[in-house]
Amino acid sequence: MKEFYGKTLSWTTTEGVIEVALHREPGNEIGSETLLELERLGVLLASLDETTHALIIYSTLPAGFCAGADLRELYERMQALSPERRLDGVRDFLERIHRVMNAIDAAPITTIAAVHGVTFGGGFELALTCDIIIADKMARFCFPELRLGLIPGFGGIPRLKRDLGNAVVRDLLLTGRSFNAAKAQSVGLVSQVTGEGEALNVARSTAAQLAKFDRETATVAKRFIKHIPEAELRHEIETFCELFVRPEVEAGLKKFVESTDALPYLP
Amino acid sequence: MSNLQETTEQILTLAAQHFKVPRERLSPDDDFFKKLGINSLQTLDLLTRLENHFQVELPDYELQGVSDFRTLAERIQARL
């Protein structure tokens, strides 16, 4: 499927580069609809032809790349289910999103996240599946999950640990603070920082450079240097589920849903 | 290194330019949420612009409860 136009994301393929555009208002929150469409992307990645060599993920929304999981949907679903069923539902969602994130992470082509603005929670985790993160200088990264009584659940911490020193990971996770693109580059999370509005253009020129190399060689090189932290990813799902049944989570989600603030999880 | 007055002046100029408010309408003790008419998403944008301009790192929690330009300048000054 060279092209796909969904409700939350779309993609086109041009000259061997798949461009995935996230476009779900207001902040590309990842809920069940986005998950379904990401799963379609997973199917595409499992059946790539030899002419495809790169993938770029970006957002068309001014607010940023992705604000994370759709917490409003999560809360509404929680309210409709018994406590036992809630956990089953969350576990099912986590298993599915992990399969998609792992598929992007291990894709046999080079993947680039071109990010700007809010790159929080699940959005940050999506960017972390990519081989290269190119950030607009106005991009901001954050794991706000502790404010909800949770840890990141889409594979973020194992992938962040893979790329960064543990001190930075602990700072981000335990303080819930955000940091900007310059800081992200200084700690080795982001490989290139661009001017405002230029991340996608830079990602495209990077993807064009990748086309000069034999794809099989690039795939082997990627597998050589980028392992999938499978045991930690499994552990993350179990830890998330343990936390999810605590009353603090429902209280945190309720506070979030009832807030009228544009970014209720920020201090 | 800028002093507090210079830092405050630079913040006011940057905020006026970006949020298209006449510079003369802004003063150090103004509540920037009200004066600039910005929400938390735009505040995050302002924070990033200030960090980039002054080349400092401002953790969000240090700005908790800060709503006026003067205190904001003090927080930045402490990092210069």
Residues of chain A where predicted confidence (pLDDT) is lower than 50: 267
Instruction: Give the right CATH number for A4-258 from 3.90.226.10, 3.40.120.10, 3.30.70.920, 3.40.630.10.
Output: 3.90.226.10
pLDDT band of residue B1 (cuts 50, 70, 90) is low
The beta-strand segments (E) located in chain A are 4-5, 9-14, 17-22, 54-59, 110-115, 118-120, 132-136, 140-142, 178-180, 192-194
Tokens encoding A26: 């207001």
The pLDDT of residue A256 is: 86
B60 in reach of chain A (CB within 8 A) = yes
Tokens encoding A124: 């940050």
The pLDDT of residue A261 is: 67
Write down all domains in chain B, each with its CATH number in brackets: 4-77 (1.10.1200.10)
The pLDDT of residue A265 is: 56
The pLDDT of residue B42 is: 87
The pLDDT of residue A126 is: 98
Per the CB < 8 Å rule, is B61 touching A138? no
| DSSP three-state, residue A111 | strand
Per the CB < 8 Å rule, is B59 touching A175? yes
The pLDDT of residue A267 is: 45
Place of tokens 């999810």: A244
Q: Which residue of B has its CA nearest to A180?
A: B48
The pLDDT of residue A266 is: 55
Give A 187-246 residues with CB within 8 A of chain B: none
Per the CB < 8 Å rule, is B63 touching A182? no
Tell me the average pLDDT across B35-43: 86
| This model's pTM is above 0.90 | yes
Q: Which residue of B has its CA nearest to A259?
A: B40
Kindly give, in sequence order, each residue whose CB lies less than 8 Å from that of residue B29, ignoring residues fewer than 6 positions away.
B68, B69, B70
Average pLDDT along chain B: 91
pLDDT band of residue B38 (cuts 50, 70, 90) is confident
B75 in reach of chain A (CB within 8 A) = no
Which of B27, A28, A104, A127 has its CA nearest to residue A6?
A28
